Amino acid sequence: MQNTFPQKQKRQYSIKIFSDGAEKDSLLKMNQSAIVSGMTTNPSLMKKAGITDYRTFCKDILTQVTQKPISFEVFADDFPEMKRQGLEIASWGQNVYVKIPVMNSRGENTYKLINELSHQGVKLNVTAIFTLEQMHHVCQALKGGAPSIASIFCGRIADTGVDPIPMTKAAVAMAHAVEPNIEVLWASTREVYNIMQADQCGCHIITVPFDILKKLDGLHKDLTSMSLDTVQTFKKDSDQMGFKL
């Protein structure tokens, strides 16, 4: 049967790819990559990477990541301390974006804080956005402020059985209408195909974990060749194990 799927189709994307992680070696490698336009981190990724000294880690990374945008997240839970941390983090470099969650752990929204920091010239990455209502308030808070990013957790939305694409398209349109300095980011990427989906939604940025970035060379592979590679791997592994029936 003839394969009706396009093979080796050249794909062009307008979306920017940011790496997502907190392992120093991988961060620095991504900083040298031509396909990576920026980087993001968060406290959970830092925990996974074994980071114990937040300030020292961030400043060490910034000695080498000096041009590409990189996001570091506040970890305080009360608003005055979140603001203090945000201002300090912003002072570390012109390429630094301060991640502010859309709410604290008590469910109190951060819209007022977002507005204050943005209008003080702090470049923000507002994170953990899950609804269009949140997106509306974030856009209004960022209106007229510094360049900013609004991160929609599309992967986690999809994990609930909800299609994130209609919301994401609406969020992109909303940001465009309210403030041209807001870039919409597709977050919690699960697979390479999400890059195409995010691009089709009009997102400006997608964050991609290191392990998924490694798969990007598969974008131009012939599917028949990939089928053969898969079967050859099965045979190699079964031969090595000496399976018999």
pLDDT at 221: 72
- Candidates 101, 39, 52; CA nearest to 76 is 101
CB 181 within 8 Å of CB 145: yes
- Per-residue pLDDT at 9 exceeds 90: no
pLDDT at 223: 82
pLDDT at 4: 38
pLDDT at 225: 83
Bigger pLDDT: 77 or 217? Answer: 77
Which residues does the annotation mark as catalytic?
Answer: 99
Q: 65 pLDDT band (50/70/90 cuts)?
A: very high
CA distance 59 to 24: 12
- Candidates 226, 227, 190; CA nearest to 206 is 190
CA distance 216 to 221: 10
Q: 12 pLDDT band (50/70/90 cuts)?
A: low
CA distance 235 to 245: 15
CA distance 148 to 182: 5
Q: 206 pLDDT band (50/70/90 cuts)?
A: very high
Q: Find the helix packing angle between 193-201 and 165-178, rounded to 10°.
A: 40
Residue 47's contacts (CB-CB under 8 Å, 6 or more residues apart) are none
Q: What is the mean pLDDT of residues 180-200?
A: 95
CB 40 within 8 Å of CB 207: yes
- Per-residue pLDDT at 33 exceeds 70: yes
Record the tokens describing residue 184, joined without a space.
């919409």
CA 33 to chain centre: 16
- Per-residue pLDDT at 6 exceeds 70: no
The string of pLDDT tens digits covering residues 88-133 is 999 999 999 999 999 999 999 999 999 999 999 999 999 999 999 9
Helices marked H in the chain: 24-31, 43-48, 54-62, 79-90, 111-118, 132-142, 154-159, 165-178, 193-201, 210-213, 223-241
Q: Find the helix packing angle between 54-62 and 24-31, rounded to 10°.
A: 20
CB atoms within 10 A of CB 35: 12
3-state DSSP assignment of residue 9:
coil
CB 208 within 8 Å of CB 20: yes
Q: 16-218, superfamily in CATH?
A: Aldolase class I (3.20.20.70)
What is the residue extent of each domain of the chain? 16-218
- Candidates 126, 242, 114; CA nearest to 184 is 126
- Indicate the DSSP class of residue 220: G
Q: 205 pLDDT band (50/70/90 cuts)?
A: very high
pLDDT at 157: 98
3-state DSSP assignment of residue 210:
helix
- Per-residue pLDDT at 11 exceeds 80: no
The string of pLDDT tens digits covering residues 123-179 is 999 999 999 999 999 999 999 999 999 999 999 999 999 999 999 999 999 999 999
CA distance 127 to 185: 9
Q: 2 pLDDT band (50/70/90 cuts)?
A: very low
- Candidates 4, 7, 1; CA nearest to 223 is 7
Q: What is the mean pLDDT of residues 58-83?
A: 97
Q: What is the mean pLDDT of residues 189-193?
A: 93
